[in-house]
Chain A
């Protein structure tokens, strides 16, 4: 029971990352009809927003270390500590969650620039060419990041207060051994909030209504005198922000390196396809579903039964779904059909 519950939680937080990336991908598919292979790079850029923010906060100056008296020793002291003392230190401690505030505008700008600068010239081209150009862009972004941050993963810890594990077992009245890292729990809740706000934005605001209408019948909306293109550009920006936020908060779980984007890209494409092209709900559901499946497949009981199943389960499911339910789990008719 405990083991099942812990695997469920593990799966949920992995699935949360897949769901967030796949949500952005689907938004772009559904509105602009563009297959964006650079979406993984946006996720990676989000993660590096957090790294950059932390680097800025910890800008340091060399000062004499008073604790060593034998000789004159120097130590690095962040400016924030010098200026604000204890408060400064706790700001540094909270670097990752605080970097959200930097990531939102930065990712929005990157998204808008990408759409206006490159993607919009590719609406009329074939899907193969869209894939190729965004694949090229992903390589370029990845290499630029590597140039500035190096090839090694950069560990960026979560705030001290949540670095321990939550006693989930005790809360639920189950075994005391059932513990789960706080940060992963936070990631789960956070992704829930982001997903909910994207859906609320699309369902409850006038802007969202126009976007949904545009996804349904773009030409008709344009006939009504609405500048659909501009709305869709903003949607691309939002998709970039969602991917970026997924990346920012994932940093304490997985130290970011320059090719994390490519690693997640393939998985999130698979998620989108399983969920059904163009279906937002499908993308989210498939993200969590595949995350959970993957984590159950890595349980010892199952991996002893079918060797290596944990490595390929997601792809296997994708292949089966694509062949038996061509539109995915919740795909609409007529979206990206051959």
Chain B
């Protein structure tokens, strides 16, 4: 039994790794094979996987996860500025520091549940965002955002070699972290993150989190103190977010406070819900769909639309362009909001649930037919 489960996990991981690593190949035909977009898939994938551990398993809706993205980004950039351009210490520090912040935020917020928890996290998100713009400007560099400069000390790098001209780029022991190599690095991180999430889902710990979601009171009556479990889930998901934030800085070494706005946390909620909250693959599916659509929709402009509706008669072409125009380009967020509302209203379990329902329906009709035949 246990062995079988191990084997299952191994095959899942192998298939998953193969899919992620071969993304540049199979995404090529649908025009999504840019390093920039692929990196986004992987980074937001990590963010959503982590968020799912909290919201999907325990049902605690947090609007504060942008804090950890921000903390991760700032830490990574500071590590690039002060220590070295190598990404390993930067990421380690981002994960560590966002974990520490998550312990503090989580310890306070998790004293309440339900809507109060959401509002507490919202309050913390706003607090950090406002602080990043005001008092913390020596650390965050305010509205300009934190950037690398040629005057940075980079102590560890200086020990081995002298400073070159121009800005150095982030690297992993000599391999530059831009373009495809950056994507492969993020992809490996994504695979590690997915593995951890798989482990959490299949562990007794994950089961306890699910029990908290389904009935916290009963859980308490059976003698469990739920708060340590909730706090661990919160901190784990915060660390995932910190890793994602660090990777954002790795692929593009600057950090700005707008990453910490609470609506940025709203975005990850959106992706998680769209794919299927509480499922293993759902959040990744949501990330892929939203980032892909964002890439396509926001690049469409009037000229593209005219060529798209070229086959129609002129008057119809004009009116189609007028109708579709508000939903593309700048109006991408409108489409996003509409998609999101539709999913919450009609398919609260996300796309994964939709698949499940369709599968059930087909298998049910098959069974009914079989029953009928048997009856005759």
Contacts and interface: CB of A to CB of B under 8 A. Distances in A.
Given A132-B273, A139-B337, A270 B344 contact: no
Contacts of B61: 128, 131-132
B134 A311 contact: yes
Interface string A254-275: 0000000010001001100100
B119 interface: yes
A139 B61 CA distance: 18
Interface residues of A, number: 38
Contact of B334 (A35, A144, A266, A316): A144
A81 to B, nearest CB: 33
B340 A315 contact: no
B123 interface: yes
Interface residues of B, number: 42
Contacts of B273: 132
Interface SS, A side: helix
Contacts of B118: 128, 131
A127 interface: yes
A131 B120 CA distance: 14
Given A129-B344, A129-B348, A139-B336, A273 B131 contact: no
A266 to B, nearest CB: 6
Interface stretch (B109-117, B191-199, B285-293, B366-374): B109-117
A34 to B, nearest CB: 11
Contact of A140 (B114, B119, B123, B337): B337
A319 B266 contact: no
A133 B341 contact: yes
B123 A319 contact: yes
A128 B348 CA distance: 11
A249 to B, nearest CB: 25
Interface string A119-158: 0010001011101110111011011101100000000000
Contacts of A146: 330
Contact of A312 (B127, B333, B348): B127
A305 B27 CA distance: 56
> Considering residues A142, A143, A269, A336, which has the most beta carbons from chain B within 10 angstroms of its beta carbon?
A143
A315 B123 contact: yes
Contacts of A131: 61, 115, 118
Contact of B135 (A129, A136, A311, A315): A311
A326 interface: yes
Interface string B250-290: 00000000000011001001100100000000000000000
B124 interface: yes
Nearest to A122: B345
A116 interface: no
B268 to A, nearest CB: 12
Nearest to B60: A128
B130 interface: yes
Nearest to B130: A311
B338 interface: yes
> Considering residues B115, B120, B135, B263, which has the most beta carbons from chain A within 10 angstroms of its beta carbon?
B115
Given A143-B337, A266-B122, A319-B120, A136 B131 contact: no
Contacts of A319: 108, 120, 123-124
Contacts of A91: none
Contacts of B330: 146
B331 interface: yes
B126 A143 contact: no
A308 interface: yes
Nearest to A137: B341
A147 to B, nearest CB: 5
Given A315-B123, A322-B116, A136 B341 contact: yes
B119 A147 contact: no
A144 B114 CA distance: 31
A32 to B, nearest CB: 14
A235 to B, nearest CB: 20
B334 A322 contact: no
A127 B337 contact: no
Contacts of A144: 334
A139 B266 CA distance: 10
B334 A147 contact: yes
Interface of A: 35, 118, 121, 125, 127-129, 131-133, 135-137, 139-140, 142-144, 146-147, 262, 266, 269-270, 273, 307-308, 311-312, 315-316, 318-319, 322-323, 326, 336, 338
Given A35-B115, A142-B337, 7 more contacts: A135-B266, A136-B338, A139-B334, A140-B334, A147-B331, A311-B131, A326-B112
Interface of B: 59, 61, 108, 111-116, 118-120, 122-124, 126-127, 130-131, 133-136, 262-263, 266, 269-270, 273, 326, 330-331, 333-334, 336-338, 340-341, 344-345, 348
8 contacts: A132-B273, A133-B345, A139-B333, A266-B123, A311-B134, A311-B135, A336-B114, A338-B114
